[in-house]
C-alpha cells in the first residue's frame, strides 16, 4: 500500500469512528483534507489546507488542519502566519501545546523584549505548555516521522522559553536545566545558546568553563551580524575582566565549535544534562582567575537575533554514508533495498551521493538526482571491516558543505557507532557540521559508547537518531526519516 493510500485510509478510518460517535463528515470534506495533508511540499500543503479551512470552517478536522498549518509556517520561517494560526488554534483548544509554544516564543521575541509583563506572560505560557505537552496528538494524516520532528521542536521551544524566563527571574539552576534541553534539540539557536551561557556564568555554583564555551559558540554563530558584534564585544570584555587573556579567549572561540553538546534525547521534564566525553579541551588556555559575580543586567546586551529557516521538507542535498561491515551475505540485500527505495522516490530537485566506509572510504557516486546512477552505485559497495566513523562523517559533511546546491543538507549515517582513532581533529569535524544535519540509524549497536557516539553526532547537528537490531527495524527507521523530509516511501 502506498503512503498516499495509507493516509487516505487513515482519514477514512477516522471518519468511521466519528460517524459511530454521531459526527458525520461529508465525502468532499474528506477528499479535500486528504489531498491537502498528502502534499509533500510545504507551500502546496499550506495552500490546500487553507482552502480546506475556508470551505469547511466548522469541520471536525479543523484543529488538525490548523496544527498542520502552524507547523508548516514554523518550518518555512513565516512567523506572522504561524502566530496567526496558533491564535486560532488556541481559540479551539487553549491548552494546545503546539500553539502555546508558538505564542510563547513570538511573544517573548517581540513585545516581551521591552515589556516585562509580556515577557512574564510568555514564561507562564511556556511552563503551562510543558505540563500539557504529553497530551499532544498527531494531526490526522501526518506521517509519524514528521510528527516526531514536530514534537521535538515543541519541546525545544517550551523548554527554551521556560529557561529564559527562569533566567530573567535569576533562578539559574532551573534556567540551566531547561536551556540545556532546548540547546540539545536546537544547537544552532542563538537565543537559547546565549541564554544558557548567561545562566551558567551567573549565580551560585557558576560553571565558568562551560558557560564561556557556550558564550563563545554564540559569538561564532552570530559572526557578521549586528547581534554578533554586540555579543563578541561583551563576551571578550567580560572574560578579560575576570582575569582571562585575549589569547585564552581565542582558544575558547576555537574550542566552542567542537561537538560535545548533551547527548541524551531531550525530555519534557528535563534532568541534569549529561555532557559527552569528547567535549573539547577542558582547559582552553588560561582560565579566568577571579571569582564569578552576578552581572549587572544593564551590562548584558540583549540583541535581536535573526535566524535563517531551512525547511526540512524543502529540496535536499543528501549524503548516504554506510558502514560496509554490516553488508554481510545475510542482510546486504535488505539494507540496500531499503535505501534504494528511498532513492527511487526522490523529488525533482533532490540530489544524493553514496559513500561507504570501513578501514577506508569508498566514494561510489557524487551528488546526482539520477536514481539509476545511485542504484548502480549502491550495488558496487564492497563489504570490509573497519570503523573509521568520524573520518568518514567529516569527509562526507565537508563534501556536502562544499558542493551541495540546496540549503537543506542532510547526511544519513548507517553505523554501529564504533570509531577508530580519528585523523580529523574535533575542531575540523565540528566546523563541517555547522551547516549539515546528521541523522543516524544505529544498526546492531553493541554497548553504550556506540550509542553515545551516534547520539552526540545527531544532537550536535540538530538531527535525529534511531536504533535498529535487524534490517526490518532499519527499514522502519529509514521510512520515518525519509517521510520527515517529505520523501514518500513505499511499503
Only one residue has cell 520532528, namely 149
Shared-domain flag, residues 221 and 368: no
User: Residue 369 maps to which CATH number?
Assistant: 3.40.50.410
Residue 125 has pLDDT above 90, yes or no: yes
Quick check: is 304 in a domain? no
pLDDT band at 488 (very low <50, low <70, confident <90, very high): confident
Q: Helix, strand, or coil here: 51?
A: helix
Rounded-to-integer distance, Cα 45 and Cα 52, Å:
10
Shared-domain flag, residues 245 and 191: yes
Shared-domain flag, residues 205 and 133: no
pLDDT band at 388 (very low <50, low <70, confident <90, very high): confident
pLDDT band at 311 (very low <50, low <70, confident <90, very high): low
Quick check: is 166 in a domain? no
> pLDDT for 160-192, tens place per residue?
999 999 999 999 999 999 999 998 888 778 899
Rounded-to-integer distance, Cα 90 and Cα 50, Å:
17
Shared-domain flag, residues 398 and 453: yes
Q: Domain of 273?
A: 174-287
Bin 386: left if φ > 0, else alpha if -120 < ψ < 50, else beta: left
Q: Helix, strand, or coil here: 67?
A: helix
Quick check: is 292 in a domain? no
Rounded-to-integer distance, Cα 407 and Cα 332, Å:
32
How is 291-316 classified by DSSP, letter by letter? PP-PPPGGGS--PPP------TTS-E
Residue 417's nearest CA partner among 469, 464, 373, 457 is 457
Residue 12 has pLDDT above 60, yes or no: no
User: Residue 97 maps to which CATH number?
Assistant: 1.25.40
Which grid cell is 124? 507562564
Residue 391's nearest CA partner among 413, 408, 370, 373 is 413
Rounded-to-integer distance, Cα 176 and Cα 170, Å:
11
Rounded-to-integer distance, Cα 457 and Cα 260, Å:
9
Greatest distance between any 2 Cα atoms in the chain: 72
**Domain end marker among 246, 268, 287:** 287
Most confident of 13-27, 239-253, 413-427: 239-253
Rounded-to-integer distance, Cα 182 and Cα 197, Å:
13
Mean pLDDT of 66-80: 89
Residue 38 has pLDDT above 50, yes or no: yes
Which grid cell is 443? 544498526
Shared-domain flag, residues 195 and 139: no
Residues 139/194, Cβ–Cβ less than 8 Å: no
Residue 267: predicted pLDDT: 31
Quick check: is 491 in a domain? no
pTM over 0.85: no
> pLDDT for 283-292, tens place per residue?
334 444 444 4
Helices (H), 110-205: 116-132, 144-168, 172-185, 190-201
Shared-domain flag, residues 41 and 141: yes
Shared-domain flag, residues 139 and 8: yes
Quick check: is 169 in a domain? no
* Number of domains, the chain: 3
**β-pairing, 361-368 with 351-357?**
antiparallel
- 211 contact partners, CB below 8 Å, separation of at least 6: 196, 197, 198, 199, 200, 201
Residue 368: predicted pLDDT: 94
Residue 271 has pLDDT above 90, yes or no: no
Mean pLDDT (the chain, rounded): 80
Residue 112: predicted pLDDT: 53
Rounded-to-integer distance, Cα 20 and Cα 39, Å:
29
Only one residue has cell 479551512, namely 53
- 334 contact partners, CB below 8 Å, separation of at least 6: 471, 472, 474, 475
Shared-domain flag, residues 338 and 461: yes
The 8 Å CB, 24+ separation contacts for 54-62 are 55/29, 56/26, 56/29, 56/32, 59/25, 59/29, 59/33, 60/18, 60/23, 60/25, 61/25, 61/29, 61/33, 61/140, 62/92
Quick check: is 301 in a domain? no
Residue 481: predicted pLDDT: 82
Shared-domain flag, residues 18 and 141: yes
Question: What's the CA angle centered on 155, arms 219 and 463, to 5 degrees?
Answer: 60
> pLDDT for 332-371, tens place per residue?
888 888 888 888 888 889 999 999 998 888 899 999 999 9
The gap from C-alpha 26 to its chain's centroid, in whole angstroms, comes to 38
Quick check: is 332 in a domain? yes
Cα distance from N-terminal residue to C-terminal residue, the chain: 6
Mean pLDDT of 58-65: 94
Shared-domain flag, residues 270 and 325: no
**Domain end marker among 121, 153, 185:** 153
Quick check: is 70 in a domain? yes
Shared-domain flag, residues 197 and 257: yes
Shared-domain flag, residues 282 and 353: no
Amino acid at each position: 500500500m502506498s503512503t498516499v493510500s495509507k493516509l487516505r485510509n487513515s482519514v477514512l478510518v477516522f471518519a468511521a469512528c466519528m460517524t459511530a460517535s454521531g459526527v458525520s463528515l461529508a465525502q468532499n470534506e474528506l477528499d479535500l483534507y486528504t489531498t491537502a495533508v498528502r502534499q509533500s511540499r510545504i507551500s502546496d500543503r499550506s495552500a490546500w489546507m487553507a482552502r480546506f479551512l475556508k470551505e469547511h470552517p466548522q469541520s471536525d478536522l479543523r484543529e488538525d488542519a490548523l496544527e498542520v498549518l502552524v507547523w508548516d509556517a514554523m518550518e518555512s520561517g513565516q512567523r506572522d502566519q504561524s502566530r496567526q494560526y496558533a491564535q486560532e488554534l488556541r481559540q479551539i483548544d487553549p491548552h494546545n501545546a503546539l500553539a502555546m509554544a508558538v505564542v510563547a516564543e513570538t511573544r517573548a521575541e517581540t513585545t516581551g523584549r521591552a515589556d516585562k509583563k509580556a515577557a512574564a506572560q510568555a514564561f507562564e505560557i511556556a511552563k503551562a505548555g510543558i505540563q500539557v505537552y504529553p497530551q499532544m496528538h498527531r494531526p490526522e494524516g501526518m506521517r509519524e516521522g514528521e510528527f516526531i520532528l514536530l514534537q521535538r521542536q515543541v519541546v525545544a521551544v517550551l523548554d527554551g522559553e521556560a529557561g529564559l524566563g527562569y533566567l530573567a527571574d535569576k533562578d539559574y539552576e532551573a534556567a540551566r536545566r531547561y536551556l540545556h534541553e532546548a540547546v540539545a534539540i536546537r544547537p544552532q539557536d542563538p537565543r537559547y545558546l546565549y541564554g544558557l551561557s548567561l545562566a551558567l556564568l551567573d549565580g551560585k555554583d557558576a560553571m565558568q568553563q562551560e558557560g564561556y564555551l557556550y558564550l563563545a559558540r554564540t559569538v561564532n554563530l552570530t559572526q557578521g551580524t549586528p547581534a554578533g558584534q554586540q555579543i563578541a564585544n561583551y563576551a571578550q570584555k567580560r572574560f578579560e575582566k575576570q582575569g582571562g587573556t585575549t589569547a585564552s579567549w581565542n582558544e575558547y572561540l576555537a574550542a566552542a565549535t567542537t561537538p560535545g553538546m548533551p547527548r541524551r534525547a531531550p525530555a519534557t521534564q528535563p534532568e541534569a544534562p549529561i555532557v559527552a566525553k569528547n567535549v573539547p579541551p577542558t582547559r582552553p588556555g588560561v582560565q579566568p582567575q577571579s571569582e564569578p559575580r552576578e552581572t549587572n543586567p544593564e551590562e548584558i546586551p540583549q540583541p535581536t537575533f535573526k535566524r535563517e529557516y531551512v525547511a526540512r521538507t524543502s529540496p535536499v542535498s543528501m549524503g548516504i554514508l554506510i558502514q560496509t561491515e554490516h553488508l554481510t551475505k545475510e542482510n546486504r540485500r535488505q539494507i540496500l533495498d531499503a535505501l534504494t527505495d528511498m532513492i527511487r522516490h526522490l523529488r525533482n530537485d533532490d540530489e544524493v551521493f553514496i559513500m561507504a566506509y570501513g578501514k577506508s572510504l569508498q566514494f561510489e557516486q557524487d551528488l546526482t538526482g539520477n536514481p539509476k546512477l545511485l542504484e548502480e552505485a549502491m550495488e558496487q559497495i564492497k563489504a570490509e571491516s573497519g570503523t573509521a566513523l568520524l573520518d568518514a562523517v567529516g569527509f562526507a559533511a565537508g563534501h556536502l558543505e562544499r558542493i551541495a546546491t540546496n540549503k537543506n543538507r542532510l547526511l544519513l549515517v548507517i553505523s554501529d557507532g564504533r570509531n577508530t582513532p580519528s585523523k580529523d581533529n574535533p575542531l575540523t569535524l565540528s566546523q563541517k557540521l555547522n551547516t549539515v544535519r546528521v541523522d543516524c540509524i544505529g544498526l546492531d549497536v553493541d554497548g553504550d559508547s556506540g550509542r553515545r557516539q551516534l547520539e552526540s553526532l545527531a544532537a550536535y547537528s540538530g538531527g535525529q537518531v534511531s536504533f535498529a537490531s535487524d534490517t526490518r527495524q532499519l527499514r522502519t527507521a529509514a521510512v520515518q526519516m525519509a517521510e520527515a523530509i517529505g520523501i514518500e516511501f513505499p511499503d
